[in-house]
Amino acid sequence: MQLVRLPAGKALTVRTAADAFLDSLGNTNTVRNYGIGVGKTAERLGEDRPLATVADDEIGGALEQLWGESAVNTWNARRAAVLSWLSWCGEHGYDGPKVPTWAKRLTPPDSETPARSKMAIDRLIARRDVHLREKTLWRMLYETVARSEEILGVNIEELDLAGRRAPVKAKGARPRTRRRGAVREDYVLETVYWDAGTARLLPRLLKGRTRGPVFVTHRKPGPGKVLAPRDVCPDTGLARLSYGQARMLLDEHTAIGGVSGTGWDLHEWRHSGLTHLGEAGASLLMLMAKSRHKKPENVRRYFHPSADAIAEVTSLLAPGDSRR
């Protein structure tokens, strides 16, 4: 349990409150993400002011000035960080403001990530210039509709090749508040499933390896790079393929006119898989079970039916004899 030492006998300043809150966080990623929202808001309010003198509307005004013109997801993330900070202060008995009701969380817009056609996906994976590692990764992302980080994080010993499934560390688990306000990221293991395409490719990719990361680099890491034992194949010494490397490889094979950054995105495999399952008649509940979303509206953001699919379902409304 991490203890946070606070100044005694004097009012808590905005800066002291911000630092104490960030010091209480037990996860480095959370500290980094929350630090942006909390740090910039503290600067905007005036770091040397007593926290108790800050009004609710000042919090809302600072959020509006800093991120009022930002993307919806950015606004929501910064607002959530400030909300957690002020709630933490209140739980510890320090007088301070709250996020005003008018500074509301915004509803994210529908995702603009496109869904690729089955033909385009099959053609890309079938290309001779695409390495077996990329073929396997892309097919696995498409068939599992899992997040890229989840699949890249899987190790060989976790694979159930016969059952065509594997546990992944789910991203969506919410941070949970523990005693003394410490925030810890709790993750849960969830199961993803793949089909025949991935089942054919995986054994060829592994080549008899029985442990270590499924997807690895083609070169050993340099002597100055420190990696966790789990992220290195103990037999070959090769490191786990990172998200950045996987994204670059996909871009290299799909970039328009050879211009870097204009190719497909890794997230498109998830969008495409869910869209094709929906077009094939999978129910909303089945799509939620497959994608592991907890809210129907989140699944809807990933579903982008094609014009042909919409035309086909529209034909069901035609008069009874018009389709004979």
Q: What is the reported pLDDT for 111?
A: 58
Whether residue 190 lies inside any domain: the answer is no
Indicate if the pLDDT at residue 34 is higher than 70: yes
Check whether residue 87 and residue 123 sit in a common domain.
Answer: no
Whether residue 283 lies inside any domain: the answer is yes
Q: What is the reported pLDDT for 1?
A: 42
Residues 6 or more apart in contact with residue 275 via CB below 8 angstroms: 115, 302, 303, 304, 305, 306
Whether residue 128 lies inside any domain: the answer is yes
Rounded to an integer, what distance in angstroms lies between the CA atom of residue 125 and that of residue 133?
11
Check whether residue 247 and residue 283 sit in a common domain.
Answer: yes
Check whether residue 244 and residue 140 sit in a common domain.
Answer: yes
Check whether residue 302 and residue 211 sit in a common domain.
Answer: yes
CATH (domain of 215): 1.10.443.10
Rounded to an integer, what distance in angstroms lies between the CA atom of residue 313 and that of residue 18?
54
Indicate if the pLDDT at residue 134 is higher than 90: yes
Whether residue 48 lies inside any domain: the answer is yes
Q: What is the reported pLDDT for 181?
A: 39
Between 157 and 243, residue with greater pLDDT? 157
- pLDDT class of 97 with cuts at 50, 70, 90: very high
Check whether residue 74 and residue 132 sit in a common domain.
Answer: no
pLDDT digits (tens, 9 = 90+) for 175-197: 443 333 343 445 678 999 999 99
Cβ-contact 12, 48 below 8 angstroms: no
Check whether residue 144 and residue 287 sit in a common domain.
Answer: yes
**Total domain count for the chain?**
2
Check whether residue 214 and residue 272 sit in a common domain.
Answer: yes
Check whether residue 85 and residue 129 sit in a common domain.
Answer: no
Q: What is the reported pLDDT for 322?
A: 53
pLDDT digits (tens, 9 = 90+) for 219-241: 888 877 778 899 999 999 999 99
Whether residue 109 lies inside any domain: the answer is no
Residue 198's nearest CA partner among 263, 262, 289, 269 is 269
Whether residue 8 lies inside any domain: the answer is no
Whether residue 254 lies inside any domain: the answer is yes
Name the residue range of residue 40's domain: 14-91
Check whether residue 20 and residue 146 sit in a common domain.
Answer: no
Whether residue 186 lies inside any domain: the answer is no
Check whether residue 203 and residue 59 sit in a common domain.
Answer: no
CATH (domain of 44): 1.10.150
Check whether residue 269 and residue 138 sit in a common domain.
Answer: yes
Check whether residue 71 and residue 204 sit in a common domain.
Answer: no
